């Protein structure tokens, strides 16, 4: 699998991937993470592409996954306050958001995490409490639960760090 920046012409493919991800989450007992909001909206993805923080994962030339990646001292303002054990590391880190796949390939999360670890020594990610498949995948990849964060619009998520 290869990772590259998302291009504007990839938008229809990403919208299709996110639609499938919303359906999958609902089937897995997690209808509230993205479903009721139609998240992520096309304008959010377009902005991610414009600022160079949207990536696609390709396999044999086909886009099979996508994710948002930011790296720095504080790439996620919602992570400044955390309820629970807290972050283990206070320095620069990578944050992954909006990760989704076509479910035709395995290893999308592992590929995104590996890519992020090449950009920063520590990676943070959050998910809805009902997103059991993501929580299971994060545990397999060595992430530890760090507490609860509140993101934009008062959205509460479980936070993980590796």
Q: What does the pLDDT read at residue 105?
A: 84
Residues with Cβ within 8 Å of 56's Cβ and at least 6 positions away in sequence, in order, are: 3, 4, 5, 6, 10, 13, 14, 63, 65, 66
Range in 27-41, 71-85, 87-101, 131-145 with the lowest mean pLDDT: 27-41
Tell me how far apart the alpha carbons of residues 109 and 126 are, in angstroms, rounded to a whole number.
13
| Confidence check: pLDDT of 111 > 80 | yes
Domain boundaries, the chain: 2-161
Cα angle 30-75-64, degrees, rounded to a multiple of 5: 50
Tell me how far apart the alpha carbons of residues 153 and 155 are, in angstroms, rounded to a whole number.
6
What CATH superfamily is the domain 2-161?
Gcn5-related N-acetyltransferase (GNAT) (3.40.630.30)
Question: Do the Cβ atoms of 135 and 106 come closer than 8 Å?
Answer: no
Indicate whether this model's pTM tops 0.85. Answer: yes
For range 22-30, the mean pLDDT: 92
Band of residue 104 on the pLDDT scale cut at 50, 70, 90: confident
- Helix (DSSP H) and strand (DSSP E) numbers for the chain: 4, 8
Instruction: Classify strands 93-101 and 123-127 as parallel, antiparallel or unpaired.
Output: parallel
pLDDT digits (tens, 9 = 90+) for 50-98: 999 999 999 999 999 999 999 998 889 999 999 999 999 989 999 999 9
């Amino acid at each position: 699998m290869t990772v590259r920046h998302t291009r504007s012409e990839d938008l229809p493919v990403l919208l299709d991937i996110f639609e499938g991800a919303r359906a999958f989450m609902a089937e897995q007992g997690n209808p509230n993470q993205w479903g009721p909001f139609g998240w992520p909206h096309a304008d959010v993805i377009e902005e991610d592409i414009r600022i160079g923080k949207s990536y696609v994962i390709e396999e044999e030339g086909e886009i099979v996954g996508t994710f948002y990646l930011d790296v720095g001292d504080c790439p996620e303002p919602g992570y400044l306050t955390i309820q629970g054990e807290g972050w283990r590391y206070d320095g620069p880190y990578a944050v992954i958001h909006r990760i989704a796949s076509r479910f035709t390939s395995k290893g999308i999360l592992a590929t995104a995490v590996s890519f992020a670890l090449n950009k920063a020594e520590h990676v943070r990610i959050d998910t809805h409490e009902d997103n059991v498949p993501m929580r299971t995948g994060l545990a397999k990849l060595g992430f530890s639960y760090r507490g609860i964060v509140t993101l934009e619009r008062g959205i509460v998520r479980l936070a993980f760090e590796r």
